Each structure stands twice: as structure tokens, then as C-alpha cells.
Amino acid sequence: MKFHAIVLLTLAAVGAYGQQSKLVQTGSNGKLIYATYANEGESNSINKIPDYSHAGYKGGGTLLPQVPVKKTLSPQAGDNHKYIQDAIEAVEQLPQDANGIRGAILLKAGTYELNGLLSIKKNGVVLRGEGQGENGTVLKDLVPGQHSFIRIQGSGKGHGNDDNRHNITTEYLPTGATILEVDNAAGLKAGDSIILVRQPNQQWIDALNMAQFGWKPAGYKAEFERTILKISGNQVTLKEPVVDPIQKQYGGGYLYKAKRSGRISNCGIENMRLESAYKTDTSEDHGWDAVALLRAENCWVKEVTAKYFGYACVSIESQSVYNTVVECAMLDPKSITTGGRKYSFVVESGSAFNFLNRCYTRGGRHDFVTGSVVPGPNVFLDCYSTDTYADIGPHHRWATGLLFDNVYGGQIRVQNRGAMGTGHGWSGAQVMFWNNYSYKSDFKVNSAPGSKNWAIGCSGQKQDGPTGYWESWGTAVTPRSLYLQQLKDRLGDKAVKNTIIKAQESGNIWELLAAWKGEGKLR
């Protein structure tokens, strides 16, 4: 789709940022004030919009490291796979500095053909090129079969055992809350990393009317990674808020100390172009993900353009947390256009606190999307998609705590998908669309019983959703970005400056992204 005159006129209105939301407003001190609300089908006005700003590298607001080069390579004729993988493994053997950094492998500009896959498996290693445009560093994926071309890959699984449970005694723990009561806080202390568990029962499944689609309580147990800020008696104060209510009548929940191991950290893929070899526009026997993060924590993908891959530019999987994806582009994916394909930027089950900023897609289906039972928060900020075939938003099975902040795209939806797929049902809860624009078909927002989804300051071709929270349709609200204002409130101006480019200070950057298209520098 071209960024035509009608859209520009609409965006001129969107860019006014005139009014404020009734649910979250800027107070006299310049910080946000939150009103309370009741969830769908309920009358207790005790929930509030959560703080999404903890998403991103090191919990948001921190500059990505400038990692020193330890190996420099230039393209060779023929297969470059072993050449590059050997360099990665050589840097993996170097000692880590005080910040957990080993070093970067610099791939000089040119074209590198690869007949094998690349993986980083130790902390503090960066693979860096000299440009994401056609004249930069281009890695050609010649490997047949569906695969992830570059992996930042940790080991292990889960959060440890939950034998030592601290049962939540709070009857109704609302969205946005940071304080809860447990039956016995012995053994817990400030600074502990814990898992907050919401364990639904059949009553919850029945309240949502999801049994007809095969939903069972065990499949919707949600584990939220949190940090204890303070303990007072049996009262626990969390650093990061609740993004999905925990109610005793619907099964309640508990918390336990996290005992994780094997996550990989401080690794990055930077400034390069990845292209998958394919035979036809509907070929599926080729590269699927350009970059995959698996069990990754505090890692990043920066200035990477992926072209012709069948599934994603970046796939965040396997309980990956606190990662940043910035200035990345997914171009012209090659596969048939149907389910399970062309998810340009995707956050999968168990992954939280991930931040995707200034990203672009062309020709995808679900361009900015999550999988099932994604715990949140996860944030998409100032992103743009064009020539899309399906909707932006949570895709299926109760992803929670999502923020789509100044996102431009085709269909934008959070809804009950019913029997779609293999019984997708309610796709998400506590999903915020803030100052977004949908150029195609409908903008649909509905809320499941006991939850709330919002569209605030949004515009589009058609407004749809009787149970969604709608406010200021057709006119953008202030602050321009909810994420950035929440980040400023929590960490100050410097954290915001560490996160944005100049153009993000005054308005959305959709026109800039539309002109950029993943080629060269975005400035």
C-alpha cells in the first residue's frame, strides 16, 4: 500500500494529540494518573492500566552495549558457514568482562553465502555487519528445509520446581496491582526473582465459554516472572505489576522463587541483511526464521533486514525475557499465504518484557503478533506494516499484558476467534492499542468476561467491538506514547532518550518508516 494523500490527511488529525484518556491522564506534576475500572461483566472498579515500561533490555530505558570487535571477517567465495561459525566459537572462548561481554565478530560489507546455520550459545557475543541495505553485509541462507537461520540459544527450560509455594490469599488481585498477600512469606526477601502463577479452574473456562473449543485449565496455567520489591509481614510488593487478574473463584494462584538456569544473555545480532534462497513465491522448503531468540535474556536484534523468509524476521521463543528488537524489517516473505506463515515479528509462549521498536514489515500476515499464553508485558512501539494479509494483535489463546503503541497496519484486532485454527478462542486480555491506525478492513476490540481490552486514540476504516473499551476514536490522545511516558515517569528523561531517535520526540514516525523500508539507516 502506498502512503497516499487520504492517509496523510487522516494522520494529520491523528497527530493532533489533543485530548486525554479518562483512564490515564497527565497530572499537574507531568506524571500519569490512573483511574480505576471494572472488568467486563464485573462491577468492582479496582483495576487500572498496568505499567508496560519494564519491557526491553535490562528492564527498559538502558542503552544497548557498544561491544568491541574481537574478530573481523571479509566474504569468501563459496560456503562461508564454517568460517563465520568458527569465529563465533572463538569469541565464545574469550573471558567475559565485568558486564558479561566477550566481544563482537564484524562481518565486512559484501555477500556471504552460507550452507549451514549459525548459532551463538555463550553469553556476551555479538555478530555485527556493516549495513542492512543491499550494499551492506548480506548473508544468503542456502540451507534447504524450514529452519531458524541465526539462533541466540540458551539451554534448559522452565523456572525450577514450585514445591515451596506461597499461596495468594488476596481474593481478587486486579490488573495493575503490585501488592498482594500470601499465606506465609517466610523465606522471601526483597530482590528475589519469583514466578507469579495464575492457575485457572474449570469455572474460569466455563465463564469464558471456551470448553467447546477444547480449552482445559491445565493448558492455561500462566507463569509471570516478577521481582520482589518489599516484604512486610505476609504482604509482598512487586516491582512489576499484575497484567491478568488472579481471582480465588477462578482458581487463584501462588508464587514461588525462580530457580532458572541456562539462559543466554548480552548477545546481539546487528546491522546486516539476511536473505533466504527460495524457488517460487509459494516455496516452503527454505529459511523460516531469520533470527530466533531461545531462552534469551537481555539480548538484542538491531538494524537487521530479513528478506524472503517464510515465517519471521525475529521470533522470540522459549521463555525469552527483557530483549530489545529495534530498527528491523521483514520484507516479502515467501510461502503460501495461510496459517502458520508470515508472522513477521512474533513473541511466543512464556516470553515477556520484550520490546520491539521502530520495525517495518511488507507482505506479511500477522506482522506484530503473539502466540498462546504469552504472559506479558510485551510492547510494540512506533511500528509500520504494509501490504498485509491478516491482523495485528494477539493471535490466540489468552496472551496478556500487550501494548501496541503507535502501530500502523492493516487489520488490528483482539477478539474471540472461536473455533479458528484448532480452537483459538479468546486471543488476548489486557491488550492496549494506543494511538494506532488501521488502513484496511476493520479495527476490532472485544473484551472477554473478567478482562478488558482497550483502543484509545485509535483510527481506522471501521470500528468494531461492542465489548471493547473505546475512547477518542479518530483523534489521537496525549501523551503520544504510553510506553515512553510510563518509562519517563519511572526512570526519567534519560531513559527515554536512551530509547528513541529524534523523530520520536514529537510524533509518530510512520512516514519515516514507510520511506525507509529496511534499507540503510533510519534517521
Q: What is the pLDDT of residues 265-287, one digit of tens each?
A: 999 999 999 999 999 999 999 99
d(CA 325, CA 144): 26
Q: Of 423, 435, 491, give the one whose Cα is nearest residue 21.
A: 435
Take residue 378 and report the three cell numbers written for it: 510485551
Q: Under DSSP, is residue 231 helix (H, G, I), strand (E, B) or coil?
A: strand
Residue-wise pLDDT tens digits, 172-216: 999 999 999 999 999 999 999 999 999 999 999 999 999 999 999
- C-beta of residue 296 within 8 angstroms of C-beta of residue 265: yes
Least confident span in 156-160, 206-210, 228-232, 310-314: 156-160
d(CA 213, CA 96): 49
Residue 13 — very low, low, confident or very high, per pLDDT cuts 50/70/90? Answer: very low
Take residue 448 and report the three cell numbers written for it: 472477554
128, pLDDT greater than 90? yes
Phi and psi dihedrals of 59, rounded to 5? 85, 20
Looking at residues 333-356, what average pLDDT do you find?
A: 96
Take residue 128 and report the three cell numbers written for it: 555485527
Element (DSSP H or E) covering residue 414:
strand 411-414
Take residue 451 and report the three cell numbers written for it: 478482562
Structure-model confidence comparison of residues 151 and 1, the more confident one: 151
In one-letter notation, the amino acid at residue 1 is M
Residue 163 — very low, low, confident or very high, per pLDDT cuts 50/70/90? Answer: confident
76, pLDDT greater than 60? yes
Q: What is the pLDDT of residue 98?
A: 96
Residue 16 — very low, low, confident or very high, per pLDDT cuts 50/70/90? Answer: low
Q: What is the pLDDT of residue 523?
A: 78
Looking at residues 148-152, what average pLDDT do you find?
A: 98
Cα 372 to chain centroid distance, Å, stands at 13
DSSP string, 466-513: TTSEEESTTS-EESS-HHHHHHHHHH-HHHHHTT--GGGGTS--HHHH
Average pLDDT of every residue of the chain: 95
End-to-end CA distance of the chain: 22
d(CA 89, CA 510): 39
Looking at residues 49-65, what average pLDDT do you find?
A: 98
d(CA 163, CA 196): 14
d(CA 190, CA 193): 9
Least confident span in 13-22, 338-347, 365-374: 13-22
Residue-wise pLDDT tens digits, 421-451: 989 999 999 999 999 999 999 999 999 999 9
Take residue 394 and report the three cell numbers written for it: 494477539
Which residues touch 325 (CB under 8 Å, ≥6 apart)?
300, 301, 302, 314, 316, 345, 354, 355, 356, 357, 359
d(CA 151, CA 128): 14
Residue 257 — very low, low, confident or very high, per pLDDT cuts 50/70/90? Answer: very high
- C-beta of residue 36 within 8 angstroms of C-beta of residue 452: no
Q: Of 515, 507, 518, give the one whose Cα is nearest residue 11.
A: 507
Looking at residues 40-51, what average pLDDT do you find?
A: 98
Q: What is the pLDDT of residue 320?
A: 98
Take residue 241 and report the three cell numbers written for it: 505489576
Strand partners, 357: 326, 381
- C-beta of residue 396 within 8 angstroms of C-beta of residue 423: no
> Could you tell me what percentage of the chain is helix, strand and coil, using 3-state DSSP and rounding each to the nearest 5?
15, 35, 50
d(CA 346, CA 317): 8
d(CA 128, CA 304): 10
